[in-house]
Amino acid sequence: MSLQPNLTAYIKNISAKNVRTFAAAAAAKTKDPQSEAVNFLPREDPKQTTCNGIAVASVETNRPVSRLAVYIKAGSRYEQPDKLGVVHALRLAAGSTTKQVTRIGIARNIDALGGNLTCTVGREHIAYTLEATRDKIGTLSKYLKEVSLNQAFKPWELQDNLPRLKDDLASRPAEVRVLEAVHKAAFRRGLGYGLYSPKFRAGSVTTEELQDYVRKNFVEASVVGVGLSLEETANFAATLNISSRDRQLCPTKFGGGEYRKNKGGDLAYVAIVAEGASLSDPKQSVASAVAQRVLGSVSRAKRGVPAGKLASLNGDSSAVNAITANYTDGGLFGIFIAATSNVVGDATRKAVSVLRATTANDTDVSRAKSSLKSDIAATLDSEANLVEELGLRSLLTGRVNSVSEILQLVDSVTTADVNAILTKGGGKLALAAYGNIANVPYLDEL
């Protein structure tokens, strides 16, 4: 979207009224703005290549704002059990002094050219994203390189980040706390390690720990450009020095389990999941998304009517939706419940009954596919979401797809594929509960 409205018609109107006129001069002829055809160039399909072992992907959007991102396969699953919280500290350290540029230098130079630099993390990745106008992003790309790969981790700057870290921990929404907890209950190690530092580790992560983590885990990366050509994106990737090497990875195993945190209040939040599909099988991961919509996902329409098998459980005192998460070698599929404390027990039992017993017919799958296609189109219309999609796909699967290819994959999913995912709900489960959970049943009671 353009950063400012189209002022062409307005400017032409002002110019026409300010033409200098004399008694004998002819009136200036003005053109009807509506008569001038405006040609908008469409967004192109994704392109990809490799450069120095780095996956490179780009989409030319033909818009004035461009985005350049470095995605590194070094999320929280790569932490050591006795050194948790390193990834949280890494995220907060983005923009701090590097080996070549000071913190003030980074901020001043990016701000001076109207850019924006952000860092986001996941269980499998760390992403550094630079956003700027097309004519300035090349100048600012050197700061993206510095922030993502040349960190210095000055001890006093790490201490300066401590208030932000504590604020992050204190301000986590209940929904985030439950999703973090259900990962821990389901996977225990690896993917079970959280995106947030444990409280006992707040302020304990040292410069040496951060440097050691970067040295051992910043070994696989992808570079993504949105609003840039593939050549421009590859030229930036060629400047990055990332040495590929083998490293130990904690294998993903769905263990099942339970985590409960009673915090009082009026509401209770519950997540119950089974083992889901991994990204290693694209069709299965798409089938998981279709199965999610068979059960029922959040409506995009304001005050929209919920659809799916769980729709009847939504009311004034409860909200129930299906959730799914896919990773390179594992995944989750289940339900999320938010309800008042007096009805959460009944809502949880009914939701688990639906999860365990649901099967889909052709009509259910057809509706769910249409819903998924609509969600894909709405999500990828945002360039920020497009950067994330390209970054994660190129990093975790090594392949990026055009929207048409994704929609074809959705169409290829059969009712049998969806039911194969739904039957997982009848197997081993993991549960996490947070809030006023006095009436939330225990896992062995479901």
| 412 vs 249: which has the higher pLDDT | 412
Residues 419-436 have a mean pLDDT of 94
The per-residue pLDDT for range 208-245, each reduced to its tens digit, is 999 999 999 999 999 999 999 999 999 999 999 888 77
pLDDT of amino acid 39 = 52
Cβ-based burial of 443 (10 A; exposed 0-12, middle 13-18, buried ≥19): buried
The H-assigned helical ranges of 309-361 are 344-357
Does the pLDDT at position 261 exceed 80?
yes
Assign residue 160 a region: left if phi > 0, alpha if psi is -120 to 50, beta otherwise?
alpha
Q: Starting from the edge strand earliest in sequence, which strands make up the sheet with 65-72, in order?
A: 47-51, 54-59, 221-226, 65-72, 126-133, 116-121
Residue 40: pLDDT band with limits 50, 70, 90: low
pLDDT of amino acid 13 = 38
Cβ-based burial of 317 (10 A; exposed 0-12, middle 13-18, buried ≥19): middle
> What is the percentage of the chain residues whose pLDDT exceeds 70?
90
**9, 30, 33, 64 from 36: Cα distances, Å:** 10, 12, 6, 21
Going by their DSSP bridges, the two strands 54-59 and 47-51 should be labelled as: antiparallel
Determine how many CB atoms are found less than 10 A away from the CB of residue 183. Answer: 27
pLDDT of amino acid 298 = 74
Instruction: Give the integer Cα–Cα distance in Å for 90 and 444.
Output: 39
Q: Which phi and psi (to 5°) does residue 161 adopt?
A: -85, -10
- Are 106 and 147 in contact by the 8 Å Cβ rule? The answer is yes
DSSP letters spanning 259-277: EEEE--SSEEEEEEEEE--
The per-residue pLDDT for range 282-314, each reduced to its tens digit, is 999 999 999 999 998 877 666 666 788 898 888
Instruction: Give the integer Cα–Cα distance in Å for 134 and 63.
Output: 8
Residues 25-50 have a mean pLDDT of 63
Residues 369-379 have a mean pLDDT of 91
Instruction: Give the integer Cα–Cα distance in Å for 159 and 394.
Output: 35
Domains defined for the chain, CATH in brackets: 47-237 (3.30.830.10), 257-445 (3.30.830.10)
Does the pLDDT at position 25 exceed 60?
no
pLDDT of amino acid 58 = 95
Does the pLDDT at position 169 exceed 90?
yes
- DSSP letter (8 states) at residue 197: -
pLDDT of amino acid 43 = 79
pLDDT of amino acid 314 = 87
| 10 vs 79: which has the higher pLDDT | 79
- Are 209 and 83 in contact by the 8 Å Cβ rule? The answer is yes
Going by their DSSP bridges, the two strands 267-275 and 430-435 should be labelled as: antiparallel
Specify which of 16-20, 95-99, 249-253 reaches the highest per-range mean pLDDT: 95-99
